Each structure stands twice: as C-alpha cells, then as structure tokens.
Amino acid sequence: MNERRRGRDLGLPFPGTPGRWNAITDVAGVEVGQVTLISGEGPLKIGQGPVRTGVTAILPRGRAGVEVPCAAGYYSLNGNGEMTGVVWIEEAGELQTPITITNTHSCGVTRDATIRWLVGHGVGTGQDWGLPVAAETYDGDLNDINGFHVTAEHTLEALDSARSGPVAMGSVGGGTGMLTYDFKAGNGSASRLVEIAGERYTLGVFVQSNFGRREDFTVLGVPVGRHLREGKLRGKEQGSVIAILATDAPLMAHQLKRLARRVPLGLARTGTVGNNSSGDIFLAFSTANAAAFSQRGGLTQMATLRNGDIDALFMATVEATEEAVIDAMLMADTMTGRDGNTAVALPADQLLALMKQYGRL
C-alpha cells in the first residue's frame, strides 16, 4: 500500500499560508481526539457488522480550558442532517461544551456521553444542565449503521485522548466510513495564518466530509470528476458535510456566524451545489476573550475586530475549507465494507497528471 500524502505534499498549489500542522489544532488550545472502529467483512449482519465507523471529539479550549465557553455562531446551508446544541448557540452566542462528530445513528450516543464525560470530570457549563454539540454524517454504504457500534465508552475515549498537534485524516474517527465525490474520504483539516491590523491570527477548519457527485468534483479549477469516472459506489449525490471552524481572532457571535456562512464558498470550489440529500452544517468558534467568558457575573469587557477588518478571515475560511475537503480524500485509502461495497481512493497519480494537463502544476 502506497503512503497517502496531503495535497501540499504532492505539490498542489493551494493559496494561503498554513500554520505549523495545517490543521485546526494550529489554533492554540484546540485539541482533537479520535476513535476508529474497523472490523468484519462480507454480508451485512445487523448488530455484528461489518463495522466501518468511529467518533471524533474536538475540545475548543482543550482539557485545561473545558469549563470556559467560546463565542460561537453556526450556519446550515442544507438541513438534511443534525448538529445538536445549536439552538442554544444561536440564542446565547456561546459554545459551552466539547464537540463530537460520528455517524448518523450514533449522534445521540455521543451527545449523551459528552454530558457523562463533563460530569465525570466535575466540569460545569455555567448552568445546571448541558447542551452538547454532536454532529453526524451517513456511513451506511460501508458500515453496519443500524448496529449501533459506537458506544459511550468510545466517545469517552475520544474525549480523553484529545490532543494538540498533527490531526489524523482520511478514514479515521467519525470519518471512517465516509465518501466524497464518490471517492473514499473522511476527515480533513487545514489552517491559515492571517495578518489584520498588525496582528497575526490563526484560523483552522476541520471537516467530516461525506458529500458530492463524482461529475462535479473540481480541484483548483480543474474538472477532475469528469475525467475520473471509474469505481463509483453511490453513483449519485448523497451524504453530508460537517465543518468546524476555530480561530484565535477576537470575534463576536454574529461575526463567527458570518465566518460559518463562508464555508459553502470553499465547498463550492470543490464542485458541490449543496444537494437536497446533503446535510451541510457548520459551526465557528473563537478562543479569544477567555477571561471575559470565565467571568460568571457582572459587567465584563471583550475585544473584537471591526467588521471591516475581517475579510482576511473570510478568505482564510474559504481556502482552508477547500483544502481540508481535498485532503480528506487524498489521505483515505480504498475501503471495502458491508456486502463487499468498495469506496475507491482518489488516485493521486491520475490527479496530478490532470493538474499538469490543465496547467495547474
């Protein structure tokens, strides 16, 4: 098996300047943990397998700052999916819990397990109850999705294992059984460094990528999907995409919602139009203003960028989203799951040949 490599390592000329790990964890404090579940082969036997799934956990301020909320905003391009906790985020403008991402029929399990994890660690949310963020995409083409193989214990393990540093991508964690543009995909992440008013800020994106019709697939303007037609599993638009944005730039909730609204522009660069069956849901949070969010009463003060100064963050969102989706595909190997269903990997050699043919390399 050839080692999979990210787009930049292959020479794809993505715009913008990434952080050290080119991942959401380039935003200081953000930690990611993942548990991958792969077992069994052959015909589907509900409750037994084959299993091709998992769970991803994101701690916005890491374990050390888990009790401190973040300013947050969310946006849904197409609502055929689930992200719990966003009604309160819309109301309060705060993210108060870790985030979990898994398959569609395990979303409730990871939500409830997050509360259990918070209680077990003696962590409060500023009120007497918790409304965790848990999101999902569908992995039933490869996974025994009705077998409910993701458990509370797997979720606790993902939360406990969350760390900073490089983020594993492709067929790992919640992205284990996912496809994108009918190629094997899963999880992807990317980051950008931006300069605003003499200060440097970091923006990172994490995607659980599971969407798209092969014919629409585009890489840096090249219509790749029109050329690479073989090996389709779905043969239609199906699935969803969850995107989590993090930044250390001081932004208010309404500004973070504006960032989340730019995710579709990055997705559109890869070819999608946001089809009816796709749940396209995005959450953005800021790790700035920790002292203000730590305060539990009285008058507080927060720093914020002017609306007129955040265009660079809009561009960073679009660029990092595009790159994260393509890396989710490039980092995933071919996978065979239930009933012998096979999701083929994006062939890097053929991709590069097309990029040269179109003058992009």
The residues carrying an active-site annotation are 240, 278, 280
Q: How far apart are CA 103 and CA 94, in angstroms?
A: 25
* 188 contacts 207 by C-beta, under 8 angstroms: yes
Buried b (16+ CB within 10 A) or exposed e, 130-151: bbbbbbbbbbbbbbbbebebbb
Buried b (16+ CB within 10 A) or exposed e, 324-358: bbbbbbbbbeebbbbeebebbbbbbeebbebbeee
Q: How far apart are CA 234 and CA 180, in angstroms?
A: 10
Report the chain's terminal Cα–Cα distance, integer Å: 25
